[in-house]
Amino acid sequence: MPSGVESALSSLNPGRPLLIVDVDEVLGLFVAGFERFLEGQGYELRLDRFSLFGSIYRQGETDLANVDAAVMLYNEFFRTGVEDMEPTPGAAEALASLATHANIVILTNAPDHCREPRARWLARHGMDYPMQINEGPKGIAVAALAARVTEPTAFVDDLISNLDSAQDVAPCVSRFQLVADPRLRPMAPTAPERHTRIDDWPSLGVAIAKALELDAR
Ligand SMILES: [Mg+2]
């Protein structure tokens, strides 16, 4: 089990509902932060498709950055730039309200070398909840976390692939899609018949509270 996972699990109160929540493009404006970082490196992001590595160009050039350069930039952002990311408006307030009656676990697919910068960023923006770093589809991690509580669980992510994975492995978990950056919203694949799509945190917080049956508490 990766380091940090056990501590995230052991902090859960099994008698409380559980919210599992992603970071990039959910709690934080990842793309906008990455875009600023790229500008300082001589690159630019052209947001004409919903593909991060398919949107990175050297400034002023017409050919995409090659995959090796894109991966290097992505990893370097998570090493040195990720703490400059802006939080998504309303996210910290919604989590704080939900946390009065629910467990919250942050489930992020950030590279493991980002653990400390990411934890500092969460704490600085009032979202100092247990964090679990994941790799790949999130369904197995969501199922393992949900199994630790006897009350309802909800999961929020921006990516359909992670929500589909949760549906496959942990179908009882309520699923919500939020895409934080308004520029990405029209491009982001969506599946409202499978996962509830709500792109603003105040409304999403209300929907999560209902799914977790917090109103009765
Ligand atoms: Mg994300």
**Span 40-91, pLDDT tens digits:** 999 999 998 889 989 999 999 999 999 999 999 999 999 999 999 999 999 9
Residue 148 sits at the vertex; the CA angle it makes with 141 and 207, to the nearest 5 degrees, is 75
Q: Please state, for a pLDDT cut of 70, what percent of the chain lies above it.
A: 96
Has residue 7 got a pLDDT over 70?
no
The answer to whether 173 and 155 are in contact (CB under 8 A) is yes
pLDDT for the residue numbered 64: 92
CA of 154 to the centre of ligand 1 (A): 16
Compute the radius of gyration of the chain from its Cα atoms. Answer: 17
Q: Where are the domains positioned within the chain? A: 5-29+86-211, 31-84
Is this prediction's pTM over 0.85? yes
**5-29+86-211 is classed CATH 3.40.50.1000:** yes
- Distance, in Å, from the CA atom of 61 to the CA atom of 85, rounded to the nearest integer, reads 26
CA of 156 to the centre of ligand 1 (A): 9
Q: How confident is the model at residue 3 (pLDDT cuts 50, 70, 90)?
A: very low
Q: DSSP state, 51? A: -
CA of 49 to the centre of ligand 1 (A): 16
